[in-house]
Amino acid sequence: MSDRMIVEPSGPLRGELLVPGDKSISHRALICNALARGEAEITGLLDSADCRSTMACLRQWGVEFEQNDDRVVVRSPGQDAFHVAAGLLDCGNSGTSIRLLSGVAAGLPFRSRFDGDESLRQRPMRRVLDPLGQMGASVSQDRTAPFWIDGSDRALRGFDGDIGVASAQVKSCIVFAALRADRPSRIVEPGPSRDHTERMLTAMGADIDVDGETIRVVPGAELQTSDVQVPADISAAAFWMIAATLIPDSEVTLPGVGLNPRRSGVVDVLKSMGAAVEITNRRDVSGEPVADVTVRSSTLYGTRIDGDLIVTSLDELPALAVAAAFAEGVTEIHDAEELRVKESDRIATTSAMLTAMGVEVEDWRDGMRIVGGNPRGATVDSHGDHRLAMAAAVAALASDTESGPTTIRGASAVDISYPTFWSDLNQLRRVPT
């Protein structure tokens, strides 16, 4: 099968669409329940390549999963009864799997070996290996995967200090290790990264206290399994929010979207650009704020995205850059150096994609400047990055009708986080008669 998708400029997007379950919460629902002994049911789990990587690794430690569509039953002997994996723990493309499971591995009395695909092998791992080493785990000298972690030597000590980067993956890794330490931990992060781990573990009985960006973990509490209903993924919904904003006469409703304040920066940025985003029916689902989101087309204006807004809209920045490319005026993105170490170097790959589509873009170490205009169809490359493939699709849909279709190379990357992306697009494109 050719891994290209040809996307034509689109007429209005209309209708209601339930996007798949949140990727970050899905990983955590699997991992946190695996730590406790017993059974839990997860509904709305994202069935994508990344979540399958987490399940495959946990299976190797002795956890069982029974899957029926979007319902998964987790059956675990509990972390104390995990056994040594028969082989490498292959995390595929998933940074969340490898970093969160590293924290679990540090609390296991044997050696665990981690690896991933070509993209994951490029991503920095000292950010988790160093703190785990400080806590007393034996860790390999590698900077990147493949690497190993061995928790058998000594008792883990608590962690006390700054983690240096606003990263939920690093923070969660340390929290998982801290649950198995011999004394309390204090973890300080420089920005408000997503807090799904803290919320879920607290609901399961862990002794975790969060005060702004300081997290205290007291080990020893026995975790209880907990059923989880996973909200719709704001990171998936963002593509439709932006497409509906850009394509005239569109109106799209996205029910049950997770609107955790540490994830919803994309809504704040879009509103500040002039988007018509309506939030209704706010409620709580499994300890996470959720609401229905309706977006109607509107004219956007350039803006500046920096500081904490970068952290709370991190995965949506490629799609927001597409929004900026269609806005009136100039948009600047600052403080976003973390984009350089995602599934691709997203500053470089987003700039290249927009440049190919005729957009004036300048990029620098921690961001880019995008001059809004009239992007045209072109041939672009996802570089194997799921969010790039989907951001390119949004740009293609909204591009100038006269300029022809866009060819997206590496379009199957969407399977990492949103396998039904193309069929969902067709659903929204079918204008009811």
Kindly list the catalytic residues. 315
Verify cis geometry, omega within 30 degrees of 0, for the bond prior to 184: no
Question: Residues interacting with ligand S3P, by CB under 6 A?
Answer: 24, 27, 96, 167-170, 172, 193-194, 314-315, 338
Report the nearest approach of ligand S3P to the CB of residue 167 (Å): 3
Provide, rounded to whole angstroms, the least separation between the CB of residue 196 and ligand S3P: 7
Q: Shortest approach of ligand S3P to residue 112 CB, angstroms?
A: 19
Nearer to ligand S3P, 191 or 302 (CB): 191
Helix then strand then coil, in percent of the chain rounded to 5, is: 35, 25, 40
Whether 181 contacts 225, CB under 8 Å: no
CA distances from 415 to 248, 412, 428 (A): 28, 6, 19
Determine the Cα–Cα distance for residues 107 and 61; give it in Å rounded to an integer: 13
Segments of 97-213 assigned E as strands: 111-115, 138-139, 147-150, 160-162, 185-188, 207-211
Q: Give the Cβ contact number of residue 238 at 10 Å.
A: 33
Closest listed residue to residue 131, CA positions, set 161, 166, 96, 151: 161
CA distance 197 to 145: 23
Judged by beta carbon, residue 252 or residue 414, the one nearer ligand S3P is 414
We find the least distance from the C-beta atom of residue 193 to ligand S3P, in angstroms, to be 5
Give whichever of 24 and 412 is closer to ligand S3P, judged by the CB atom.
24
Nearer to ligand S3P, 54 or 60 (CB): 54
State both tokens at 381: 């490359």
Exposure letters 365-398 (e unless 16+ CB within 10 A, then b): ebbbbbbbbebbbbebbbbbbbbbbbbbbbbbbb
Q: Please, what is the minimum distance in Å from the beta carbon of residue 194 to ligand S3P?
A: 6
Nearest of 178, 236, 186 to residue 51 by alpha carbon: 236
Of 173 and 378, nearer to ligand S3P (C-beta) is: 173
Query: Which residue shows structure tokens 């891994």?
Result: 3
Q: To the nearest whole angstrom, how small is the minimum distance from the Cβ of residue 106 to ligand S3P?
A: 17
Closer CB to ligand S3P, residue 60 or residue 172?
A: 172
- The residue length of the chain stands at 433
**In angstroms, rounded to a whole number, what is the distance separating the alpha carbons of residues 90 and 121?**
11
Strand partners, 406: 7
Q: From the CB of 404, what's the least distance to ligand S3P, in Å? A: 32
CB 392 within 8 A of CB 416: no
Alpha helices in 179-316, H assignment, sequence order: 196-203, 234-246, 265-272, 308-312
Distances, alpha carbon 212 to alpha carbons 47, 205, 260, in Å = 32, 20, 15
Q: How far is the CB of 27 from ligand S3P (least distance, A)?
A: 6
Nearest-approach distance from CB 68 to ligand S3P, in angstroms: 24
Give the Cα-Cα-Cα angle 205, 79, 263 (nearest 5 degrees): 55
Helices of type H across 36-75: 49-60
Q: Closer to ligand S3P by CB, 101 or 398: give it.
A: 101
Considering the complex, state which of residue 193 and residue 286 has its C-beta at the smaller distance from ligand S3P: 193
